[in-house]
Amino acid sequence: MERGEPEEGEAGAPGEFRAPPPPDDRLWRHPSEVAVARRPDGRAPGGWAVALVSGLVGSVLTFGLVAATGALDRDAPGGVVRELVSPPVPAGERADPDQVVQIAERVSPAIARIQVGGDRPGSGSGVMFRDDGYLLTNAHVVDKARTIDVVLADGSEHDGELVGADALTDVAVVKIDREAPVPVATLGSAAGLRVGQAAVAIGSPLGLIGGSSVTTGVVSALGRRLPTAQGPPLLDMIQTDAAIAPGSSGGALLDGSGAVIGITTAIALSDSGAEGLGFATPIDIARSVADDIITTGRAVHVWLGIQGRDLDAASAEQAGVSGGAVVVDVVDDGPAQGAGLRPGDVIVAVAEREVRSMSALVIFLRERAPGDRVELSVLRDGGRTSLPVELGTRPMDAAER
């Protein structure tokens, strides 16, 4: 997607993409300065776009379809990592106000503000997940940063070191040096998420001084695929109506118990501005990538080689299963094709673990390493069959999982 920039002092035509204005004395911006997407033919889309939500910088994405990516919840090497996988708030219930207060008080100390210096200065957020100074954020927040300044909830400022970043998942790890342990967030899992359950977002919007910001809503969709203007799409994203403002990118999306279920990444925009939809990278993916970066310096992505979608409720009931992942397409010469997987197959279990969605499938697969063999339980032509598959390493040019 090409970007058009108006001449200096020109407001630009309605629906035209506008580059973010340079930093100045104004904290708040007029709605006309909000960037919107353009179609390849140059016309305003009249629909939605998706923009990454770092402070003064961000790329425009186009809205896309559901696909699959990788995810994993591994034990982090060293440090203290608090983890919690708790029952979600029942679907359709928003978090109780008193409960939100408790969540905010407990989690806000682990949310940091990130100020980036360089050719593209900006701000974002980060989630402390190890008490020895490691935090999770978005790769686009720290992209091409010459300096990284991390401001903790207690107001203390620290020089941040970029440990590594993964453009495929838009996840980055930053390290600060501090003698005393830092507060850390409790990490949960996105594997059991349900549409309608409570969601709480905490971040540092617009680089504002004075602590983090808290918003509430629900998980409004799962498994979103967001094609990017450049590079591979963001896959398996969590959609929420909890407000996510620019600068909150890299913050925490929490469930009703206060466990981190995602790292906030993008917001939906239209001609009129923000549409009240935000997107977060599942914490399983973010944690997996972070562990890889800390251990080896780069992220390693397990590859099955399929495109897929969730099995709809009516088909699941007819098949007598609680859910599944429908194979839409099989990548040529990929692990799935070698195992005999076909379009139309429905994956309902991995290594005897029930699969209810594409999100669950990829999270389970990321618990394995490239070269591992796993047994897939597949519904095909009214029957069930088992297919052993040897997982591969995602090729650099592979568009899907």
Contact 345, 309 (CB under 8 A): no
- Distance, in Å, from the CA atom of 333 to the CA atom of 123, rounded to the nearest integer, reads 42
One-letter amino acid of 63:
F
The tally of CA atoms less than 13 A away on the side-chain side of residue 266 is: 32
140 is catalytic: yes
> Is beta strand 134-137 parallel, antiparallel or unpaired with respect to 252-254?
unpaired
Q: Please pick, among 170, 255, 284, 292, the residue that the annotation labels catalytic.
A: 170
Q: Please pick, among 54, 123, 140, 257, the residue that the annotation labels catalytic.
A: 140
- Distance, in Å, from the CA atom of 205 to the CA atom of 134, rounded to the nearest integer, reads 21
Contact 368, 391 (CB under 8 A): yes
Contact 299, 293 (CB under 8 A): yes
Contact 56, 23 (CB under 8 A): yes
Contact 390, 371 (CB under 8 A): yes
Local structure of 224: helix, strand or coil: strand
Q: Please pick, among 54, 108, 212, 249, the residue that the annotation labels catalytic.
A: 249
- Distance, in Å, from the CA atom of 21 to the CA atom of 13, rounded to the nearest integer, reads 16
One-letter amino acid of 139:
A
C-alpha dihedral over 53, 57, 62, 68, to 10 degrees?
-60
Vertex 203: Cα angle to 198 and 207 (nearest 5): 155
86 is catalytic: no
381 is catalytic: no
Tokens of 253: 């999306």
- Distance, in Å, from the CA atom of 341 to the CA atom of 100, rounded to the nearest integer, reads 44
- Distance, in Å, from the CA atom of 133 to the CA atom of 107, rounded to the nearest integer, reads 16
Burial of 340 (0-12, 13-18, 19+ CB in 10 A): middle
- Distance, in Å, from the CA atom of 101 to the CA atom of 292, rounded to the nearest integer, reads 34
| Residue 270: partners with Cβ closer than 8 Å, 6 or more residues away | 36, 45, 47, 48, 49
Unique residue bearing structure tokens 């580059």: 19
Contact 192, 73 (CB under 8 A): no
Which residues are tagged catalytic? 140, 170, 249
